[in-house]
């Protein structure tokens, strides 16, 4: 093939049974013009070094598994074209702000716990029987939350967030954006059940609106906007409840 070029890929390696601290390893990979960083990693695993560990699944920006640091930036490796880095070397590291399990695989337990805490599902005070049909929604009602529903839980926003880097208790961009997504859903009645998490000290108030979460988000969810909207709504409700304590607190 005449369009093959060779690029250097330096990968962070960490094999806890062999070494105490992460090291790095450089591979030379022949790539085609349409290859992404994930293709290079799969090439290394299949043809050069089968011991390299990393997560991936769909290869098309839907599953959210292949998020890694590429030259210091949180990226979906299935969407990072090698040709954009060539002739420079590419450094691939696991997402920062998370513990490393092995090589490029991070421990996502903290994120999963936080995601569960915001109850990202439709909550009804009372479920109507199936015989009564679906919960209908107008296109306008769908538009209210659609953007925030695009999150694929790739955790790039947690790697980009300097606040999460400093304060590991911070509920974080994706979890808050997803809680906000359900709060905005006309079929949902779970706002009160999420409020104590989202409006806690560790929730929206920890965010200083740096905005990097929205910059790196591959699905344009704009978690910073979700947090900002929630701050405004929570503040407005708080002032309302002070001025009109008899008002409906819902």
Partner 1 sequence: MNYKEHKSEPFWWGMFSQGGVIAALLIPIHIFLGGIAVHLGLIDAELMSHERLTDLLQNPLVKLYLCVLLIFPLYHAAHRIRFTLAEIGLHSLAKILPVLCYGGALLGTAVVLYILWILL
**Contact set for partner 1, span 165-184 (CB under 8 A):** 166, 169, 171
Q: Which residues of 106-138 are buried (b: 16+ CB within 10 A; e: fewer)?
A: bebebbeebbebbbbeebeeeeeeeeeeeeeee
Q: Which structure tokens are listed for 199?
A: 């409006």
Q: 198: part of which helix (H) or strand (E)?
A: helix 191-198
Q: At closest approach, how far in Å is the CB of 74 from partner 1? A: 20
User: Does residue 15 touch partner 1 according to CB under 8 A?
Assistant: no
Query: In this chain, which of 163, 174, 176, 178 binds partner 1, going by CB under 8 A?
Result: 163
Query: In this chain, which of 117, 154, 176, 217 binds partner 1, going by CB under 8 A?
Result: 117
Q: At closest approach, how far in Å is the CB of 226 from partner 1? A: 16
Q: Which residue has the tokens 């954006």?
A: 177
Task: Give the span between the Cα atoms of 48 and 9, in whole angstroms.
Answer: 12
Q: At closest approach, how far in Å is the CB of 168 from partner 1? A: 11
C-beta separation of 134 from 161 below 8 A: no
Task: Give the span between the Cα atoms of 145 and 120, in whole angstroms.
Answer: 13
Task: Give the span between the Cα atoms of 235 and 146, in whole angstroms.
Answer: 24
Q: Which is nearer to partner 1, 2 or 208 (CB)?
A: 208
Q: Which is nearer to partner 1, 43 or 119 (CB)?
A: 119
Q: Which is nearer to partner 1, 16 or 99 (CB)?
A: 99
Query: In this chain, which of 15, 232, 244, 247 binds partner 1, going by CB under 8 A?
Result: 232
Q: At closest approach, how far in Å is the CB of 208 from partner 1? A: 5
Task: Give the span between the Cα atoms of 65 and 231, in whole angstroms.
Answer: 30
User: Does residue 66 touch partner 1 according to CB under 8 A?
Assistant: no
Number of residues forming the site for partner 1 (CB under 8 A): 24
User: Does residue 113 touch partner 1 according to CB under 8 A?
Assistant: yes
Q: At closest approach, how far in Å is the CB of 169 from partner 1? A: 7
User: Does residue 231 touch partner 1 according to CB under 8 A?
Assistant: yes
C-beta separation of 249 from 239 below 8 A: no
Give the x/- contact pattern for partner 1 in 39-58, rule: CB under 8 A.
--------------------
Nearest to 95 by CA among 64, 62, 63, 73: 73
Task: Give the span between the Cα atoms of 115 and 97, in whole angstroms.
Answer: 16
**Contact set for partner 1, span 180-219 (CB under 8 A):** 195-197, 199-203, 205, 208
Residue 166 sits at φ, ψ, to 5 deg, of -90, -35
Q: At closest approach, how far in Å is the CB of 126 from partner 1? A: 24
Query: By the criterion CB under 8 A, which residues form the site for partner 1?
Result: 113, 117, 162-163, 166, 169, 171, 195-197, 199-203, 205, 208, 231-232, 234-235, 237-239
């Amino acid at each position: 093939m005449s369009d093959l070029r060779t690029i250097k890929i330096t990968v962070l390696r960490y094999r806890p049974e062999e070494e105490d601290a992460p090291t790095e390893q450089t591979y030379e990979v022949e790539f085609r013009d349409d290859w992404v960083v994930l293709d290079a990693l799969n090439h290394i695993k299949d043809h050069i070094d089968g011991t390299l560990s990393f997560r991936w699944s769909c290869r098309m920006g839907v599953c959210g598994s292949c998020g890694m640091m590429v030259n210091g930036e949180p990226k979906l490796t299935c969407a990072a074209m090698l040709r954009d880095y060539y002739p420079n070397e590419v450094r691939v590291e696991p997402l920062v702000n998370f513990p490393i399990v092995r090589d490029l695989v991070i421990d996502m337990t903290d994120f999963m716990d936080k995601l569960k805490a915001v109850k990202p599902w439709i909550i009804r005070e009372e479920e109507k029987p199936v015989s009564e049909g679906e919960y209908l929604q107008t296109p306008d009602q769908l538009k209210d939350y659609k953007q925030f529903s695009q999150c694929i839980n790739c955790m790039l926003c947690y790697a980009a967030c300097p606040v999460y880097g400093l304060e590991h208790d911070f509920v974080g961009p994706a979890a808050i954006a997803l809680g906000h997504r359900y709060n905005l859903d006309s079929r949902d009645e779970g706002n009160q059940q999420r409020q104590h998490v989202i409006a806690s000290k560790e929730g929206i108030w920890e965010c200083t609106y740096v905005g990097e979460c929205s910059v790196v988000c591959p699905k344009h969810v704009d978690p910073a906007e979700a947090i900002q909207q929630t701050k405004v709504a929570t503040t407005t409700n708080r002032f309302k409840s002070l001025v009109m304590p008899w008002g409906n607190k819902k």
